[in-house]
């Protein structure tokens, strides 16, 4: 029986790997099949937002809700953009530099907010995010202020296909790193803290240390996404990193399913691509996004991942029942 | 002198409007832990309903404000019944519903009335002159309405049966339910009152400043600042934090220029939260 269940687990796991490989190959050949540069542009944006949503989930699994996460994407974007424009550094240097810079800021914040738990941390990071946005707005010519920051050094000669593969590669690397991170001992400790910080501490898990570590990892990857996005777009504005932007990152995670590593990936694709498909509705197109949200809230509480899990469970129980019927005959 | 008086009135008006919106948010947040992200949109739509009634239907401004308040109070009941009650205790889904409602209301206003900034007409013309100082009747009226409403609401919360039931629920929801309080009915009432107050504040702010479809997002953050700085569970503290934030928002633009003035209140808030994580009057977390 034990061997049998292990065999079944192996089978679902290899099925999962199969789907993953097929998805990556599909994403890899899309530029060869698609002529439309606009579609490539949308997909590049999706890749950057996937990294941001994954990094958000890396913090959420440690039981913290950073309601100012998009502001850290802004920190990465502005840090890289300003270093490239004003210090004339090459983007290859500023993008990782901005990610590290965002991580340092994130750690400083996490250390100072490490006394705050759950709701208070959420609110603290929310207000900090607003403060960061307002400071960027007040930056005058250095940050462009309310009118946005333009003239960020481009990369790859602005070729959409090169950017597509760069963003895809960055997304796969980040996802792999965050996957390893979540299923390592550190990730397990973080999940323990989020379930009960008292029990976790009583078995010797240093709560503050792991929560700060989660914020550090999350900030690094969101800074990376922001910096890449800034060099891709060439122009950035603080309004893309405000409170509602953070809420949309949360929506990507929740629609995909917060309990599954691949949730944020699927959620970003659903919530960016489907409204984009209906963009001919113009002013009415946000109704599509809202409709998707209501659909998931009322009908699929576990997000997309929860739906798949429920479907797999149903198929399994159906199979078991049939096997029992056959045995009874 | 002129500027001092004008600034004092700005502080009072901004504070009373912030407190009006934040109280409605705090009712649900303290009682059931519901993070009502649609509250800012309710405030915005209230202002636009008043605007549409006055400008398109030619309704008397006072009647228009009353109708807008009642419509949004009714909307509050619907919101509580169909959007919050099914998901009580599920933080994630309540946040999703709130964002969804927010998007629907903003898009509806955008599509129906356009993204242009609008303003409600003033209810009173003329100025109250007092030596060299003059204050418009408009501002005095807005402040008086806001202040009267705040007195009314504090009386409601402290002295009436339903208000005391609300306090009981925010102290201990299970104990309140066990002693015979109908939690659902009281929270529906709280949501209706909160939404009505937000709509009224939207109308008043619409005649004091301008209306824009995205003004709700900013007001939502202000309401959150007030509630968190006051401390979760404290209603009286919101009045104090409202005056502080209103003061910062009204005085900072006098001293600093535009964008810097916008940044200062939030920096102050972050520093205060670092020093006092539970807020000024919060109970033990």
* Chain B residues in contact with A60 (beta carbon < 8 A): none
d(CA A135, CA B25): 27
pLDDT of residue A48: 93
Per-residue burial over A109-143, b if 16 or more Cβ lie within 10 Å, else e, is bbeebeebbebbbbbbbbbbbbbbbbbbbbbeeeb
pLDDT of residue B76: 92
pLDDT of residue B42: 92
Q: What is the mean pLDDT of residues B167-181?
A: 87
Q: What is the mean pLDDT of residues A182-186?
A: 86
Residue A254 falls inside a structural domain: no
Structure confidence by residue, pLDDT tens digits, B240-281: 889 888 888 888 888 887 778 888 888 888 888 888 877 787
Residue B83 falls inside a structural domain: yes
Tell me the pLDDT band of A120, cut-offs 50, 70 and 90.
confident
Dihedral sign of CA atoms A297, A12, A168, A96 in order: positive
B280 in contact with A at a CB cutoff of 8 Å? no
Which has the minimum average pLDDT: A30-39, A210-219, B7-16, B36-45?
Answer: A30-39
pLDDT of residue A152: 79
* Chain B residues in contact with A250 (beta carbon < 8 A): 95, 99
Asked whether residue A4 carries a pLDDT value surpassing 70, the answer given is no
* Containing structural domain, residue B79: 2-214
CA distance B271 to chain A (A): 9
Q: What is the mean pLDDT of residues A88-93?
A: 84
pLDDT of residue A91: 82
Asked whether residue A273 carries a pLDDT value surpassing 70, the answer given is yes
Tell me the pLDDT band of A218, cut-offs 50, 70 and 90.
very high
Mean pLDDT estimate for chain A: 84
Q: SS in 3 state form for chain B?
A: CHHHHHHHHHHHHHHHHHHHHHHHHHHHHHHHCCCCCCHHHHHHHHHHHHHHHHHCCCCCHHHHHHHHHHHHHHHHHHHHHHHHHHHCCCHHHHHHHHHHHHHHHHHHHHHHHCCCCECCCCCCCCEEEECCEEEEHHHHHHHHHHHHHHHHHHHHHHHCHHHHHHHHHHHCHHHHHHCCCCHHHHHHHHHHHHHHHHHHHHHHHHHHCCECCCHHHHHHHHHHHHHHHHCCCCCHHHHHHHHHHHHHHHHHHHHCCHHHHHHHHHHHHHHHHHHCCCCCCCCCC
Interface contacts A/B by beta carbons within 8 Å: 111
Tell me the pLDDT band of A10, cut-offs 50, 70 and 90.
low
pLDDT of residue B101: 92
Residue B196 exposed, middle or buried by CB count within 10 Å (0-12, 13-18, 19+): buried
CA distance B266 to chain A (A): 5
Percentage of chain A surpassing pLDDT 90? 16
CA distance B6 to chain A (A): 25
pLDDT of residue A1: 44
Between helices B236-255 and B137-159, what is the axis angle to 10°? 160
CA distance A57 to chain B (A): 13
In three-state secondary structure terms, A260 is: coil
Structure tokens at B97: 């519903």
* Chain A residues in contact with B102 (beta carbon < 8 A): 244
pLDDT of residue B5: 80
B104 in contact with A at a CB cutoff of 8 Å? yes
Residue B184 falls inside a structural domain: yes
Mutate which: A130, A139, A291, vs B, most B CBs within 10 A: A130
pLDDT of residue A219: 93
pLDDT of residue B259: 76
Q: Give the Cα-Cα-Cα angle B103, B107, B108 (nearest 5 degrees).
A: 115
Residue B235 falls inside a structural domain: no
Tell me the pLDDT band of A53, cut-offs 50, 70 and 90.
very high
Structure confidence by residue, pLDDT tens digits, B18-33: 998 998 898 888 888 8
Asked whether residue A186 carries a pLDDT value surpassing 70, the answer given is yes
B171 in contact with A at a CB cutoff of 8 Å? no
Residue B267 falls inside a structural domain: no
Residue A19 falls inside a structural domain: no
Mutate which: A123, A142, A149, A306, vs B, most B CBs within 10 A: A123
d(CA A140, CA B28): 40
pLDDT of residue A49: 93
* Chain A residues in contact with B278 (beta carbon < 8 A): 120
CA distance B88 to chain A (A): 13
Tell me the pLDDT band of A9, cut-offs 50, 70 and 90.
low
Asked whether residue A220 carries a pLDDT value surpassing 90, the answer given is yes
Structure confidence by residue, pLDDT tens digits, B81-132: 888 888 877 888 888 899 999 999 988 988 888 777 777 776 666 677 776 6
Residue A78 falls inside a structural domain: yes
Pick left, alpha or beta for residue B120 (phi over 0 → left; psi -120 to 50 → alpha; otherwise beta). beta
Do B277 and A116 lie within an 8 Å CB cutoff?
Answer: yes
Asked whether residue B184 carries a pLDDT value surpassing 70, the answer given is yes
Do A127 and B96 lie within an 8 Å CB cutoff?
Answer: no
Which has the minimum average pLDDT: A77-86, A269-278, B128-137, B256-265?
Answer: B128-137
Residue A18 falls inside a structural domain: no
- Which residue(s) pair with B135 in the sheet? B128
Tell me the pLDDT band of A101, cut-offs 50, 70 and 90.
very high
The number of domains in chain B is 1
* Chain A residues in contact with B26 (beta carbon < 8 A): none
Structure confidence by residue, pLDDT tens digits, A140-171: 777 777 777 877 777 777 778 888 888 999 99
Please name which of B188, B191, B99, B97 lies closest in space to residue A298, comparing C-alpha atoms. B97
Asked whether residue A102 carries a pLDDT value surpassing 90, the answer given is yes
Structure tokens at B90: 């599920």
* Containing structural domain, residue A95: 34-241
pLDDT of residue A55: 92
Asked whether residue A291 carries a pLDDT value surpassing 70, the answer given is yes
Residue B189 falls inside a structural domain: yes
Asked whether residue A2 carries a pLDDT value surpassing 70, the answer given is no
d(CA A119, CA B91): 10
Between helices A160-182 and A185-195, what is the axis angle to 10°? 70
Q: What is the mean pLDDT of residues A108-137?
A: 83
d(CA A56, CA A64): 10
Residue B240 falls inside a structural domain: no
Distances (CA, A) of B42 to B36, B88, B118: 10, 20, 17
pLDDT of residue B285: 45
Q: What is the mean pLDDT of residues A240-251?
A: 89
């Amino acid at each position: 029986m034990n061997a049998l269940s292990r065999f079944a687990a192996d089978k679902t796991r290899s099925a999962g790997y199969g789907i993953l490989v097929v998805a990556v190959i599909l994403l890899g050949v899309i530029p060869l099949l698609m002529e439309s540069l606009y579609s490539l542009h949308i997909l590049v944006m999706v890749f950057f937002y996937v990294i941001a949503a994954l990094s958000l989930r890396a913090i959420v699994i440690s039981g913290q809700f950073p309601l100012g996460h998009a502001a850290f994407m802004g920190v990465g974007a502005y840090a890289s953009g300003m270093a490239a424009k004003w210090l004339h550094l090459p983007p290859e240097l500023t993008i990782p530099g901005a990610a590290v810079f965002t991580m340092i800021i994130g750690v400083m914040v996490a250390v100072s907010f490490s006394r705050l738990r759950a709701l208070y941390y959420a609110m603290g990071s929310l207000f900090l995010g607003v403060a960061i946005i307002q400071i960027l707005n007040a930056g005058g010519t250095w940050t462009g202020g309310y009118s946005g920051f333009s003239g960020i050094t481009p990369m790859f000669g602005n070729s959409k296909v090169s950017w597509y593969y760069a963003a895809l590669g960055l997304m796969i690397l980040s996802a792999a790193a965050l996957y390893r991170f979540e299923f390592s001992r550190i990730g397990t400790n973080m999940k323990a803290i989020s379930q009960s910080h008292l029990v976790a501490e009583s078995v010797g898990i240093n709560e503050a240390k792991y929560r700060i570590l989660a914020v550090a990892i999350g900030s690094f990857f969101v800074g990376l996404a922001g910096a890449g996005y800034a060099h891709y777009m060439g122009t950035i504005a603080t309004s893309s990193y405000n409170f509602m932007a953070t809420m949309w990152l949360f929506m990507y995670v929740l629609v995909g399913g917060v309990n599954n590593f691949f949730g944020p990936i699927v959620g970003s694709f659903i919530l960016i691509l489907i409204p984009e498909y209906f963009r001919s509705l113009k002013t009415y197109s946000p109704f599509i996004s809202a409709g998707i949200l209501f659909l998931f809230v009322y009908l699929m509480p576990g997000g997309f991942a929860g739906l798949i899990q429920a479907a797999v469970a149903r198929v399994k129980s159906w199979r078991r029942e049939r096997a029992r019927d056959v045995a009874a005959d | 002198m002129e500027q001092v008086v004008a600034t004092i009135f700005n502080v009072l008006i901004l504070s009373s409007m912030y407190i009006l919106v934040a109280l409605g948010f705090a009712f649900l947040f303290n009682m059931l832990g519901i993070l009502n992200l649609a509250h800012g949109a309710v405030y915005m739509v209230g202002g636009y309903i008043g605007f549409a009634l006055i400008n398109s239907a030619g309704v008397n401004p006072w009647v228009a404000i009353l109708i807008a308040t009642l419509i949004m109070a009714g909307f509050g009941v619907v919101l509580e019944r169909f959007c919050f009650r099914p998901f009580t205790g599920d933080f994630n889904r309540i946040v999703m519903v709130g964002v969804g409602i927010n998007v629907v209301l903003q898009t509806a206003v955008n599509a129906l009335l356009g993204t242009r900034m609008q303003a409600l007409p003033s209810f009173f013309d003329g100025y109250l002159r007092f030596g060299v100082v003059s204050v418009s009747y408009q501002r005095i009226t807005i402040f008086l309405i806001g202040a009267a409403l705040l007195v009314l609401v504090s009386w409601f919360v402290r002295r009436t049966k339903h208000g005391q039931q609300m306090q009981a629920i925010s102290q201990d929801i299970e104990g309140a339910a066990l002693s015979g309080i109908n939690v659902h009915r009281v929270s529906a009432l709280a949501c209706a009152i909160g939404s009505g107050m937000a709509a009224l504040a939207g109308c008043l702010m619409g005649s004091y400043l301008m209306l824009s479809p995205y003004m709700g997002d900013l007001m939502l953050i202000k309401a959150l600042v007030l509630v968190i700085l006051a401390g979760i569970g404290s209603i009286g503290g919101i009045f104090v934090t409202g005056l502080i934030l209103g003061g910062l928002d009204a005085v900072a633009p006098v001293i600093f220029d535009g964008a810097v003035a916008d940044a200062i209140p939030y920096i102050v808030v972050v520093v205060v939260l670092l020093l006092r994580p539970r807020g000024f009057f919060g109970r033990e977390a």
